[in-house]
Chain A
Amino acid sequence: MNATRLIRPAAPLLVVLPALVFLPVLLSLPGQIHGGGWDLIGQFAWAALTPSLDPLVLQSLLNGLAVTIGMALLGWALSLVLGLGLGLVSSRLLWRTLTGTALPADLIRRLLALPRSIHELIWGLLLLQLIGQRPAVAVVAIALPYGALVARVLSDLLDALPTANLAGLRAAGAPAPAALLTALGPPLLPGVVSYGGYRLECALRSATLLGVFGLGGLGNELLLTLQSLEFHELWSGLWLLLAVMLSLETVIGILRRRWSMPGRFGLAGERSGGGSVGRRGREILLTLTLLLPTLVVVARALAVDPSTLLHWQPLPPLAPQGWATALALPWPRLVADTLVLTLLAAGLAVGGAPLLLLLVAPWPWGRRLLQLLWALGRLWPPPLTALLLLFVLQPGVVAAALALGFHNLGILGRLLLEGSEAAGPEVEQGLLCGGSGPRLALLYGRFSGLARSYLAYGAYRADVILRETVVVGLVAGSGLGSQLRESLSAFAWDQLALLLAVYALLTLVGEDLSDRGRQRLLGTA
Chain B
Amino acid sequence: MPGPQPDPHRPVTGPPPVLELQEVQIPGRGQPRLDGVSLRLEAGERVALLGPSGAGKSTLLAVANGLLAPRSGAVLWEGQPRARSASKRRRQQARIGTLWQDLRLIEELSVQQNLNAARLAHWGWPRALLNLLLPLESEACAAVLQQLDLDPALLNQPVTALSGGQRQRVALARLLRQEPTLLLADEPLASLDPRLATDLLDLLLRQAQAPRALLLSLHRPDLLGGFDRAIGLRRGHLVFDQPVQAISTTDLQDLYSSHDKGAGGISG
Q: Measuring CB to CB, which residues of chain A are less than 8 angstroms from any residue of chain B? A: 1, 5-7, 9-13, 362, 426-427, 429-437, 440-441, 443-445, 448-449, 451
> With a CB–CB cut-off of 8 A, which chain A residues contact B108?
10-12, 448-449, 451
Let me know if A437 and B107 touch, CB within 8 A: no
Docked pose: A7 CA to B121 CA in angstroms: 24
Interface centre among A5, A426, A431, A441 (most CB of B within 10 A): A431
> With a CB–CB cut-off of 8 A, which chain A residues contact B117?
431, 434, 436, 444
Let me know if A10 and B133 touch, CB within 8 A: yes
Docked pose: A305 CA to B128 CA in angstroms: 62
Let me know if B120 and A434 touch, CB within 8 A: yes
User: Closest CB-CB distance, B113 to chain A, in whole Å?
Assistant: 6
Instruction: Say whether B65 faces chain A, with CB atoms less than 8 Å apart.
Output: yes
* Residues A434 and B133 in contact in the complex (CB < 8 Å), given A429-B67, A451-B108: no
Let me know if B109 and A431 touch, CB within 8 A: no
> With a CB–CB cut-off of 8 A, which chain A residues contact B90?
435-437
Docked pose: A13 CA to B108 CA in angstroms: 11
Let me know if A7 and B133 touch, CB within 8 A: yes
Let me know if A10 and B118 touch, CB within 8 A: no
> With a CB–CB cut-off of 8 A, which chain A residues contact B100?
426, 430
Instruction: Say whether B129 faces chain A, with CB atoms less than 8 Å apart.
Output: yes
- Across the A-B interface, how many residue pairs have beta carbons closer than 8 Å? 94
* Residues A435 and B98 in contact in the complex (CB < 8 Å), given A426-B104, A448-B106: no
> With a CB–CB cut-off of 8 A, which chain B residues contact A449?
106-108
Instruction: Say whether B72 faces chain A, with CB atoms less than 8 Å apart.
Output: no
Docked pose: A10 CA to B117 CA in angstroms: 13
> With a CB–CB cut-off of 8 A, which chain B residues contact A12?
108-109, 132
Let me know if A6 and B109 touch, CB within 8 A: no
User: Closest CB-CB distance, B229 to chain A, in whole Å?
Assistant: 24
Docked pose: A363 CA to B95 CA in angstroms: 24
Q: Measuring CB to CB, which residues of chain B are less than 8 angstroms from any residue of chain A? A: 65-67, 86, 90-98, 100, 102, 104-110, 113, 117-118, 120-123, 125, 128-129, 132-135, 156, 178, 180
> With a CB–CB cut-off of 8 A, which chain B residues contact A1?
156
Docked pose: A429 CA to B106 CA in angstroms: 12
> With a CB–CB cut-off of 8 A, which chain A residues contact B120?
431, 434-437, 440-441, 444
Let me know if B92 and A11 touch, CB within 8 A: no
Let me know if B96 and A433 touch, CB within 8 A: yes
Docked pose: A201 CA to B33 CA in angstroms: 45
Smallest Cβ-Cβ distance to A1: which chain B residue? B156
User: Closest CB-CB distance, B78 to chain A, in whole Å?
Assistant: 14
> With a CB–CB cut-off of 8 A, which chain A residues contact B65?
433
Of the A-B pairs whose beta carbons lie under 8 Å apart in the complex, a sample of 12, sorted by A's number, is: A5-B156, A10-B113, A12-B132, A432-B93, A433-B65, A433-B93, A434-B93, A434-B121, A435-B91, A444-B109, A444-B120, A448-B106
> With a CB–CB cut-off of 8 A, which chain A residues contact B110?
10
> With a CB–CB cut-off of 8 A, which chain B residues contact A440?
120, 123, 125, 128
> With a CB–CB cut-off of 8 A, which chain B residues contact A434?
93-94, 96-98, 117-118, 120-121, 178, 180
Docked pose: A486 CA to B227 CA in angstroms: 83
User: Closest CB-CB distance, A13 to chain B, in whole Å?
Assistant: 4
Query: A7-B133, A435-B92 known; 4 other A-B pairs, CB under 8 Å?
Result: A6-B135, A434-B117, A435-B95, A441-B120
> With a CB–CB cut-off of 8 A, which chain A residues contact B91?
435
Let me know if B132 and A9 touch, CB within 8 A: yes
Contact among B95, B104, B121 with A430 in the assembled complex (CB-CB below 8 Å): B104
Let me know if B98 and A7 touch, CB within 8 A: no
Smallest Cβ-Cβ distance to A14: which chain B residue? B132
User: Closest CB-CB distance, B141 to chain A, in whole Å?
Assistant: 14
Contact among B94, B96, B132 with A13 in the assembled complex (CB-CB below 8 Å): B132
Let me know if B97 and A10 touch, CB within 8 A: no
* Residues A436 and B121 in contact in the complex (CB < 8 Å), given A7-B133, A9-B132: yes
Docked pose: A426 CA to B171 CA in angstroms: 14
> With a CB–CB cut-off of 8 A, which chain B residues contact A9?
132-133
Smallest Cβ-Cβ distance to A451: which chain B residue? B108
User: Closest CB-CB distance, B174 to chain A, in whole Å?
Assistant: 8
> With a CB–CB cut-off of 8 A, which chain B residues contact A448?
106-109
> With a CB–CB cut-off of 8 A, which chain A residues contact B93?
432-435
Let me know if B133 and A362 touch, CB within 8 A: no
User: Closest CB-CB distance, A370 to chain B, in whole Å?
Assistant: 20
Docked pose: A437 CA to B89 CA in angstroms: 10
Docked pose: A432 CA to B68 CA in angstroms: 13
> With a CB–CB cut-off of 8 A, which chain A residues contact B66?
433
User: Closest CB-CB distance, B186 to chain A, in whole Å?
Assistant: 11
Let me know if A445 and B132 touch, CB within 8 A: no
> With a CB–CB cut-off of 8 A, which chain B residues contact A6?
134-135, 156
> With a CB–CB cut-off of 8 A, which chain B residues contact A441?
120
